[in-house]
Each structure stands twice: as structure tokens, then as C-alpha cells.
Amino acid sequence: MNLFDQFEATLLESSGTVALSSAETGAPLKTKEDREREWLMQRHGKFTASEIHKLMAYPDKDELPKGAMTYVMQVVAQAMTEFRQDTYTTPAMQWGIETEPEAIDAFMAATGLVVSKCKDEQESIDHGGHFGGTPDGLIVSEFSGVEVKCPNSATHLGYLKIRSGKDLKAEAPEYYWQIHCLMLLTSSQHWYFVSYDPRFKEARLRLHIAKISADISDMARLRQRLALAEAHKIKIMADL
């Protein structure tokens, strides 16, 4: 069995997904500082949900496109170097960090759903050391989760038209693939894309929620790209 087949076999366990109950989880992120460091350390040298879109350009191709190969090289470089935390935070990033808890509260108030493993209690989920992700929150009652964005007002305005996975894929493909990676990691069949901007004068425009259903074909494409990427990563490291 070659490297591709070996990795693909691990991805196809449990019908191609990893049950949340059996996934490896990191330590609870108790403070903002701990949360940032833990998140960065657990993604170091792995393919991650927030960056997985870099593997998904031209998804119907059987080989990795140039951009995906560049991302693989970045992950290889991380895997072969010591972890160093970058403490630089842009104003937009800081806004998101500060506003996300408020967004989750607004989501729970609007839907009646309880979100756990959120805010300072987020946990990362790892698939065998190959790839992973950190959900913004989990909804145990639905076996799903939330992906929260607190963008600038112009971007939020564009997100208001998102109603489905098809819309999300067209408007913000990086988040579409991020959500599909999180669904792959947790065996979920749907996820909530949440955009929040409390600066809008009209209350009805501040919170936008779109329920994203898992696309079977895109899940298969994602598994294939992850297998190709991991096989290429292993080959690069073996040839050094």
C-alpha cells in the first residue's frame, strides 16, 4: 500500500469521518493568552481547517495545484522547525477576538441553541496529527457547531445574502472549506456560519446565520486533497 492509500484509509475510517467522541482534543483554552498559544502550537506543522482552502483550488483536478503545493511546503517547514509564537495582532483581528463572545451570545439568544466549547473554553480537534481545527463552538443537541466571523461592516453586508452552502462557497470559499473540514473532523452533517456586526443601526442586520449542510461530493474532494497533501508532505520530508 502506497502513502496515498495509507492516508486515504485513515480518512475513510468511520465512513470517511472522525467521530467527535474519539477525536483527540487539546487542553481547554482558559485565558486569551493560553487560547492563542495553544491554538498556534496545535496547528504547528499540520494542515488546519482555517487554511484548508489553500488545498482546494481547482478541486476537480487529480493532482495538487501550484498554490496547494506552496501550502504543503509551508506545513513541512513548520513541522521541521521549532514553534515560535507571533504575537502581532491587527486591529481587525483584535476586533474579532473581542466581539466573538458577544456574537455567540447573540446566536444563542436568536436560535435557542446552547453552544458549548466556545469563548475561552474552545478545544482543538486533531486527526492523527495530520490535520485539525478549532471550532468556535459546538452544539451538542444537534451534533453540529458554529463558525463565527466578526468582519468589517462592508464585508458583513456582503455576508447577509448567504443562505446556503452554495452561497457561502461563492461569497467566501475559504470559510466554506473551513466549515467542511470541521464537519469532517466531527462527523457533523451541518454547521452554522455566523456573521456578526453590532455597529449596524438596525438590530435585524447585526446578526446573520446560515445553516450549511455537508456536501457529499465536496467532502470526498476534501478527503482526496488531504490525502494527496499529506503524502506529498511525507515524501518531501523523507527525501531531505
Percent of the chain with pLDDT over 70: 82
Q: What is the mean pLDDT of residues 113-118?
A: 97
pLDDT number for residue 7: 41
pLDDT number for residue 130: 85
Beta pairing class for 131-133 and 47-48: parallel
Among 26, 34, 19, 44, CA closest to 188: 19
**Residue-range definition of the domain harbouring residue 17:** 3-239
The band of 213, judged by pLDDT with boundaries at 50, 70 and 90, is very high
pLDDT number for residue 148: 98
Cell of 238: 523523507
Cell of 55: 488545498
Q: What is the mean pLDDT of residues 30-46?
A: 69
Beta pairing class for 144-149 and 137-139: antiparallel
Residue 92's CATH number: 3.90.320.10
Q: Which residue has the higher pLDDT, 117 or 21?
A: 117
pLDDT number for residue 28: 53
The band of 19, judged by pLDDT with boundaries at 50, 70 and 90, is very low
Above 90 in pLDDT, residue 35? no
Cell of 186: 466531527
Q: Edge-to-edge strand order for the sheet containing 207-213? A: 137-139, 144-149, 190-196, 207-213
Q: Which residue has the higher pLDDT, 87 or 183?
A: 183
- pTM, whole model, 2 decimals? 0.85
Gap between the Cα atoms of 58 and 15, Å rounded: 25
The band of 24, judged by pLDDT with boundaries at 50, 70 and 90, is very low
pLDDT number for residue 126: 87
Residue range 149-181, pLDDT digits in tens: 999 999 999 999 999 999 999 999 999 999 999
Cell of 216: 457529499
Strand, coil or helix: 232: helix
State the total domains in the chain.
1
Above 70 in pLDDT, residue 18? no
pLDDT number for residue 162: 98
Backbone angles phi and psi of 102, in degrees to 5: -65, -35
Backbone angles phi and psi of 12, in degrees to 5: -85, -5
Give the Cα-Cα-Cα angle 16, 20, 25 (nearest 5 degrees). Answer: 120
Cell of 203: 438590530
